[in-house]
Structure 1
């Protein structure tokens, strides 16, 4: 299954882009310090709002700060929020949705009520209100807020899938043989939900990065943190679009777009492998292509 997953160009390209940004987030400070030799917070008074040049490859901001150094430093903040929010949201969705679909009965009623309660809540206004009251608490709190309010849709999906898997003959037979619920959930039900969980996690990464950028754009973020969202916010406050300082807001916006594209491509690849209909269609296309190639070579 892993070999089939990595064979598709969508998954390979998406994973390569995600791996690049993860490595950039991890080693970004070392790159700025030792390779570029630039502090992302330092002000170069001789290069105020300078366009890209050999000295500043992506130009500088209105305050003389190097845009490339800030983009590299911002990768850590944005990726941290995306991965932490996705981890928290996916974990809560699994802990709520899978037991609800497996155990049914009173457990399903209670967990389903909790899911429906969060599902009907206006998530975006709640995030804005909570983040506004906790303004200045940093990226940790933003990631936790996004994760805590963004799990209900995934939990509803996992509940339906767990309900379907737990009703299959092999699970019912193992229940009759006296297999413990813990083993059935972890070794029989969850492996059939890996495609859905992976898709939820990737969707959570996109949502976390977008939410952080949106909150920072609205001014509900830690002004001392460097992220792609705070870069776009600073560019908006200084009217970079109207003044033609495209090099200030294009790099962080392009990074956010690449993260979303990469996660979407990986999601498509996982869906093609986990969805039997798509997998069968993919195999038929490959078989037909090979047949046409063989016929063309013989001709």
Structure 2
């Protein structure tokens, strides 16, 4: 070990489970987690960190970024930095709650359909197919017509109940492949209850699909919520990253040179999505022996290359 230059694990890493060790040694996963932590912490502390009230006028219209207004002001004279923090609080809440809800629904229906099969599979698959053809945009338009305007909560609920179809179909397919494995059959022969087999034997073997579905559902929810509010289907009175882009478009910010009204929320959405994708890469490596082996092989090759050696590891 010493000759290969491999450092002994620290006491902290030695106590952590293998999955966490793999995650915290993955640069992409750690980077994504740190970025998400910064955004979530800033959103949670928005009332404390915001120098101005994001819902009220704080200065003159279209003031450039400076000492008084870190990211400038909007056409209405509202502080962009304060709105960015408050908007992140709403957008991230909608994204994570909608993504988690859609993932839980998809996992429950997908595993039930794949494991119990028969009549249960036929009924649940029918609902999955119906969910896949239900468009979220028309539903939000219908809800908005009933409640006058679609708030972020309404948009999040619609996205949650229309975004679980793809996750359910993927989980069902994987469940069909796992249910006939030896360890599942052994658990059934031992008389284990079905819910224990599902939770302890089947679900842990699909963690990458579950986490991947959650990440994609969350990204979709954040982008869909921002897109729907950008085109005017949301509540203009709320402060989210989408409504910030909506008012910037209404005020023709880019045409008038007020770039600071557009780029902060746009970059926030982009960086949040990129951070979630980086975390998903790390989870894929944890749950895939092939990816772990490829990563280890790459590290050994780089080490040997630095030593001036050329050896085929695999």
Please indicate the TM-score interval, normalised by the length of the shorter structure: over 0.9
Q: Which residue of 2 aligns with 1:278?
A: 291
Q: Which residue of 1 aligns with 2:49?
A: 31
Whether the 8 Å CA contact 2:136–2:158 is kept in 1: the answer is no
Q: Which residue of 2 aligns with 1:43?
A: 57
Whether the 8 Å CA contact 1:86–1:201 is kept in 2: the answer is yes
Q: 2:96 aligns with which of 83, 87, 97?
A: 83
CA distance in 1, matches of 2:227, 2:64: 26
Query: Aligned in 2, Cα 1:151/1:204: closer, same or farther, shift over 3 Å?
Result: same
CA distance in 2, matches of 1:226, 1:162: 41
1:2 aligned to 2:20? yes
CA distance in 2, matches of 1:180, 1:131: 45
Q: Deviations over 1:38-80 (max 9, x none)?
A: 11122245x2211111111111111111111111111111011
CA distance in 1, matches of 2:213, 2:144: 23
Q: State the TM-score, normalizing by the size of structure 2.
A: 0.88
The 5-angstrom pairing of residues 1-299 of structure 1 reads 1-32=19-50, 36=51, 38-45=52-59, 47-295=60-308
Query: Aligned in 2, Cα 1:159/1:224: closer, same or farther, shift over 3 Å?
Result: same
Aligned residues: 291
Q: RMSD between aligned alpha carbons?
A: 1.6
CA distance in 2, matches of 1:44, 1:181: 59
SS at match of 1:53: coil
Whether the 8 Å CA contact 1:135–1:220 is kept in 2: the answer is no
Q: State the TM-score, normalizing by the size of structure 1.
A: 0.92
Q: Deviations over 1:236-294 (max 9, x none)?
A: 01111111110001100010001011011111121122233322222221222233334
CA distance in 1, matches of 2:147, 2:302: 57
How far residue 191 of structure 1 moved from its aligned partner, in angstroms, is 0.7
CA distance in 2, matches of 1:165, 1:132: 45
114-123 or 103-112: bigger deviation:
114-123
Whether the 8 Å CA contact 1:128–1:215 is kept in 2: the answer is no
CA distance in 2, matches of 1:44, 1:127: 32
Give unpaired runs (5+ residues) of structure 2: 1-18, 310-314
Whether the 8 Å CA contact 2:115–2:175 is kept in 1: the answer is yes
284-293 or 227-236: bigger deviation:
284-293
SS at match of 2:87: helix
Structure having the higher helix fraction is 1
Query: Aligned in 2, Cα 1:205/1:132: closer, same or farther, shift over 3 Å?
Result: farther
Whether the 8 Å CA contact 1:216–1:233 is kept in 2: the answer is yes
CA distance in 2, matches of 1:134, 1:85: 20
Moved over 6 A (4+): none
Query: Aligned in 2, Cα 1:21/1:183: closer, same or farther, shift over 3 Å?
Result: same
Give unpaired runs (5+ residues) of structure 1: none
CA distance in 2, matches of 1:208, 1:259: 12
Query: Aligned in 2, Cα 1:282/1:124: closer, same or farther, shift over 3 Å?
Result: farther
How far residue 139 of structure 1 moved from its aligned partner, in angstroms, is 1.7
